[in-house]
Copies of this chain bind each other. A is one copy, B any other.
Amino acid sequence: MQILKSKKKIAVVALSGGLDSCVTAAIANEDYELALLHANYNQLTEKKELESFNRIAEYYNVKHKLVVDLSHIAAIGGSSLTDKSIPVKKADLHSKEIPNSYVPFRNANILSVCTGWAEVLNASAIFIGAVFEDSSGYPDCRPEFFKAFQQVIKLGTKPDFNADIITPVINLSKAEIVKKGIELNAPLKFTWSCYTNEDEACGVCDSCALRLRGFQIAGVEDPIAYKIKPNYSGY
């Protein structure tokens, strides 16, 4: 008797190329066929991020791959990640303020692109690696934001289409994300998180600090190169 292998459902995964989105792709890969989407918005480290995206896509041998140009996000500005006249601040892991690296409404822009693509691919899910608990406090990383966007998808697409927004790492700490990535053999060595550098990670921006603290608390060596590697585990 021939056993027919059921065709896997498709998930669109927003993959910046950083740690969180790579582990998110690894989680999606357990149950779905991956459709990987990368947004270029003229961020400072876009070249390196795109390289990470392509390596991760190659690692998972994906058929559906889409790189989109959202450079209007940089034209609109208002963030240190897209406007060179605003310096990227050194990390302050105790601050309650929204840091200047916040990119206005970035996740809604990215989710809108994901949804349009999901509708055309007839995908069942949209994965996004937003982190809320152990993060910089961006408003578009809140669970309530994604819940509200789910409603927009339900109402703004064809009646016979729906895709669940899945945020599998939203409430994990960075250390838990690192451990999850290792458990699933995610290619963490290809990921890039630094906001400012493309050769060696700076080690001192918000994103480096959160990442390094995660690896340090998890007791795992971060496989990428750093210019300096402060110990953040006590912060």
0/1 interface trace, chain A 68-106, chain B, CB 8 Å (1 if under): 111111011110000000000000000000100011111
Task: Scan residues 106-159 of chain A and give those whose CB is less than 8 A from a CB of chain B.
Answer: 106-109, 111-113, 115-117, 119-120, 139-140, 142, 144-145, 148-149, 151-159
> Are B78 and A104 in contact, CB atoms less than 8 angstroms apart?
no
Which residues of chain B come closer than 8 Å to A68, judged between CB atoms?
72, 75
For the complex formed, measure the closest distance between the CB of A143 and the CB atoms of chain B, giving whole angstroms: 9
Decide: A157 near B66, CB < 8 A? Known: A76-B120, A117-B76, A152-B148: no
- Which of B66, B78, B106, B153 is in CB contact (< 8 Å) with A76? B66
Pick from B72, B98, B103, B116: contact of A105, CB under 8 Å: B116
Please, how many angstroms separate the alpha-carbon atoms of A178 and B151 in the complex?
Answer: 33
- Which residue of B has the minimal Cβ distance to A71? B69
Query: In the complex, which residues of chain B have a beta carbon less than 8 angstroms from the beta carbon of A142?
Result: 155-156
How many subunits of this chain does the assembly comprise?
A: 2
SS class, residues of chain A in contact with chain B? helix
Is there contact, CB below 8 Å, between A156 and B152?
Answer: no
Complex interface residues of chain A between 167 and 216 (CB less than 8 A to chain B): none
Q: Are A156 and B108 in contact, with the CB atoms below 8 A?
A: yes
How far, in whole Å, are A73 and B113 apart by their CA atoms in the complex?
8
- Closest B residue to A78 by beta carbon equals B120
By the criterion CB–CB under 8 Å, are B75 and A104 in contact?
A: no
Chain B residues with CB below 8 A from A103, complex form? 116
Return chain B residues, CB-CB under 8 Å to A115: 104-105, 108
Partner of A157 from the list B104, B116, B153 (CB cut-off 8 Å) is B104
Q: CA–CA, A105 to B145, complex, Å? A: 18
> Assuming the A-B contacts A77-B120, A158-B98, A158-B139, are A108 and B152 also in contact, with contact meaning beta carbons closer than 8 angstroms in the complex?
yes
| With contact pairs A66-B75, A75-B66, A155-B142 given, residues A106 and B102 touching in the complex (Cβ less than 8 Å) | no
Besides the contacts A68-B72, A73-B116, what 8 more A-B pairs have beta carbons closer than 8 Å?
A: A76-B116, A98-B158, A102-B158, A104-B117, A108-B115, A108-B116, A109-B116, A139-B158
Binding site for B on A (CB under 8 A): 66, 68-73, 75-78, 98, 102-109, 111-113, 115-117, 119-120, 139-140, 142, 144-145, 148-149, 151-159
8 contacts between A and B (CB under 8 A): A69-B71, A76-B113, A103-B116, A104-B115, A105-B119, A108-B152, A140-B156, A152-B152
